[in-house]
Structure 1
Amino acid sequence: MKNKEQFCTRLNCFFCIMKEPNSSIRTATITNYLKSIPFVEDEELVLVISELWTNAMTQPDNQELPSLGIFECMANLLKKSLHDKAWLLKNQNIYIPYYAAHIIGSYTMNKVESAVRAIDSGVIPLLLELLRGKMSWVEQRVAVRALGHLASYEKTFKAIQVYENEVVKLSMHLASSCLETVYTLFVGVEKRLRYQSDLLTRGIGGVEMENRKAEEWASQLQCWSIHLLNCFAIKERSLDLICRGRGEFLNDLCGMWGGLVNHASPGGIGLIRILCYSKVGRKRISECSYVVENVCKLSISSDDWQYMGIDCLVLLLKDFDTRYDVIEIATSYLVDLVELRSLGNRSDIGESITMTLLLKEFKHQNSKIKDPNVRIRLEEIRDLKIERRKVEQVMSREKLEEKRILAKLLKEQGNQKFMIGDIDEAILKYSEGLELCPSRYRNDRVVLHSNKAQCNLLLRDPDSAISNATRALCLCEPPNSHANSLWIRSKAFDMKGMAKESLMDCILFINACTKSKTHDRVKIPYFAVQMISKQMDSMWLFRAAQLKELNNHQTAGMMNIQMKDTSYMRGLSTIVEEPNCCGKDGSERKKVERAKGGKKLNEM
């Protein structure tokens, strides 16, 4: 019959047990079944574990299975996997350690009650075995995830703390080496372990999909390792170990900032900010000029974690013991952010930066600043944010409007100088306009800074271009939304080899272009697509590992090895590219890319 219900004839079928309508029978049967799972010698065992994994993934807050012994079951399966190699290689049992550790991590993700049950079930020593690399990077990924969840709760942190020294060392090593490991053992090889490929893609998508998922998983492995370190650092545990030596690991963190592959995690900058909340952490970070430099670069970028970079610098500058170790480099970046009003859900960021840089209690200590340019920049901030504000507050509306009109006239004069190729004179006019233009007229100041940045770029002065474009982006509402300034700064970052910063600006530039269009099919300028492609290649997660392997091969005499094709990770496949030449002679492209002396300003 068409609607006749099909009955399972198998005894103790797990899938039938899960459908049992009688709650008391269901509870008792599931409890007994979970106890018996580790002793099952069945080819379909992995199907049962896979179903349990699906339940854990889709219903992580459901307490039924955790209360009925799921953690004891998974602990027994892990123990058997780690100590019985013959069983592990039988049937499809090779998949089980991954599923078991993942189930533990999913059920402990949000519920402290489940975390306590997992600890009581003895999962920590078994997860540590996976973390040590007893199997492979695939199992390390889910083990560090589970340990990170267990370490997140006060009630269960002490159980992890017993293994503190080893856990911290293993997490640091994983965070620093996992990308190279995944590339060397998976992405960079032709013959891959079948079970790993299946776990990554469920058998769908082929090599290209495997590579995409491997990139995602490697990033997660790195970010979860950092999260586990965060759990110790936030309690000011193992700070000397994390900051040991000459800051080698701190330097490594600068290349682990989440990013395009893992949007949800701040990665290394999150740990650096946590360290900056402690006296020991601030001291060690202030001694690492490479770290401070990278935090400064983040603070002026359009990265989602820009505010974390600013937080770190403010914390370092407020500490008397670290202020003068970082103030010279920090001031050169923060001076461009003092007119920033808000960032995300944070307000008065520019005011906070100004107050930090001009702290009265440190005024008598300014003699410690060796670089006279830094003193000049501090005076510039004082003039812009304090003295100028005082003057403008007592100025009549008519007088303010008069100054605004004069600033606009200077901008027009600057535009004329620009169009005839007198770039230096154009810069002077824009600068005079900025001196005259009242602070309250932020949109006018955006245009002046942006035009000035364009001139800096034409003069091959990327530092000045970045500075002026950053000031324009701080003045616009919302911040980092002015399309022309984003594109200028993206090119300036590119000139300095700052691929990530250039990429982020270019992506926001494209977003700004699409928001300004009303029709469905949006055409993105070809030059922006080129920049995206270039920087995505440079920012590929496995680029460093790939280059290292190529260098090793070349050293061994294999000089003709070709670079691995990374076109699959360039992304942005939904972009409709604008043709290279819009007219027969490429006139439209030339209007955008005209050389010095004839380049058109968008802000005319």
Structure 2
Amino acid sequence: MTDNGKTKIPTNEEIINEITEELQEKLSADDIEQGLPTNNSNEVIPQDFENNESDSTALPDDYIDEEQLKTAELNLTDEEKEQRHEKALELKNKGNEQFKSGLHLESVYTYTEALKLCPLSYENDRSIFYANRAASKISLARKESAIDDCTKAIELNDKYVRAYLRRAKLYEETDKLDESLADYKKVLEFDKTNKEALQAQYRLPPLITEKNEKLKTEMLGKLKDLGNMILKPFGLSTENFQMKQDPNTGGYSVNFTQNK
């Protein structure tokens, strides 16, 4: 799996979920082959994915093929590039007016047209187009897509404070608290007096700690379920094993207990 050309490293929770599902499928298949009763109460039923983005308003095709733009620009003169740049700026202004008038979907389309027209060498302007389009998407409850646009804006201008702030808020709203705090810290590198970022420095750490503790508890539960599936064919469960900590060394030992 890749994300913007980079290999995505799975989290511990994703690895455990994958192993658990594979083992459960194998055990269920083995039960059927051996004529054993299956325990459907342990079946993992995928929950409906909670889509926080609005499905009622379809966005226009907002994909920007920069390789295609780069190839197309090879045949353009400097004068033609400047003309395209000026037209893109006009579209940006049009998009701004549409946004102010509440025409958010229309403004997404207009900013997209500006991005398809503006030469790649005008990185600062393209960064603004992406950030403005992100604002329009936020108004349409398209948070994940807005995050992508903020990220692109930052790639084009790594000192774009407004894009960092916008993405930080989106990260927090989508429960990506560590990423949100990192963006707020980045804002403080450019503006040490930024009120939003200063408040986030105190607000987010305890929320991150609470989230991590919750994830830890959930992961331990998944590990226990995984252990029970592995031990099931032997008539055992994790209840047969107890971990005890040595008060002197701090190390742990595992003791086996037979159920009566």
Please report the TM-score for the alignment, with normalisation by the length of structure 1.
Answer: 0.25
Match of 1:529 in 2: 198
Task: Tell me if structure 1 keeps the 8 A contact 2:165–2:187.
Answer: yes
Could you tell me how far 1:543 is from its partner in structure 2?
5.0
Correspondence 1:460-471 to 2 at 5 A: 460-471=141-152
In the TM superposition, what whole-angstrom CA distance separates every residue of 1:369-403 from its partner, at most 9, and x where no partner exists?
xxxxxxx99xx57x421x32122012100000000
Could you tell me how far 1:547 is from its partner in structure 2?
8.8
1:507 aligns to 2:185 (yes or no) = yes
The residue type paired with residue 197 of structure 2 is A
Task: Tell me if structure 2 keeps the 8 A contact 1:457–1:488.
Answer: no
1:384 aligns to 2:66 (yes or no) = yes
In the TM superposition, what whole-angstrom CA distance separates every residue of 1:465-500 from its partner, at most 9, and x where no partner exists?
101001111111xx3x31011111111111111111
1:544 aligns to 2:225 (yes or no) = no
2: CA distance, partners of 1:468 / 1:441:
17
Closer/same/farther in 2, CA of residues 429 and 542 from structure 1, 3 Å limit: closer
Give the secondary-structure state (helix, strand or coil) at the position aligned to 1:506. helix
Closer/same/farther in 2, CA of residues 546 and 403 from structure 1, 3 Å limit: closer
Could you tell me how far 1:533 is from its partner in structure 2?
2.6
Residue identity (%): 26
Could you tell me how far 1:410 is from its partner in structure 2?
0.5
Give the secondary-structure state (helix, strand or coil) at the position aligned to 2:209. coil
State which of 169, 188, 203 in structure 2 corresponds to 1:491. Answer: 169
Could you tell me how far 1:426 is from its partner in structure 2?
1.7
Give the secondary-structure state (helix, strand or coil) at the position aligned to 1:540. helix
Correspondence 1:192-271 to 2 at 5 A: 251=12
1:398 aligns to 2:159 (yes or no) = no
Task: List alignment gaps of at least 5 residues for structure 1.
Answer: 1-246, 255-283, 289-375, 515-522, 549-604
2: CA distance, partners of 1:546 / 1:251:
10
The residue type paired with residue 503 of structure 1 is L
In the TM superposition, what whole-angstrom CA distance separates every residue of 1:41-74 from its partner, at most 9, and x where no partner exists?
xxxxxxxxxxxxxxxxxxxxxxxxxxxxxxxxxx
1: CA distance, partners of 2:188 / 2:134:
19
- Return the structure number with greater strand share: 2
In the TM superposition, what whole-angstrom CA distance separates every residue of 1:117-176 from its partner, at most 9, and x where no partner exists?
xxxxxxxxxxxxxxxxxxxxxxxxxxxxxxxxxxxxxxxxxxxxxxxxxxxxxxxxxxxx
In the TM superposition, what whole-angstrom CA distance separates every residue of 1:540-582 from its partner, at most 9, and x where no partner exists?
389507995xxxxxxxxxxxxxxxxxxxxxxxxxxxxxxxxxx
1:413 aligns to 2:94 (yes or no) = yes
Correspondence 1:155-194 to 2 at 5 A: none
Task: List alignment gaps of at least 5 residues for structure 2.
Answer: 1-9, 20-60, 218-260
Task: Tell me if structure 1 keeps the 8 A contact 2:69–2:116.
Answer: no
Task: Tell me if structure 2 keeps the 8 A contact 1:449–1:468.
Answer: yes
Give the secondary-structure state (helix, strand or coil) at the position aligned to 2:76. coil
Closer/same/farther in 2, CA of residues 409 and 536 from structure 1, 3 Å limit: same
Deviates more, 1:399-408 or 1:495-504: 495-504
2: CA distance, partners of 1:409 / 1:429:
10
2: CA distance, partners of 1:412 / 1:546:
45
1: CA distance, partners of 2:12 / 2:124:
39
Specify which structure has the bigger relative contact order, considering alpha-carbon pairs within 8 angstroms and separated by 6 or more residues: 2
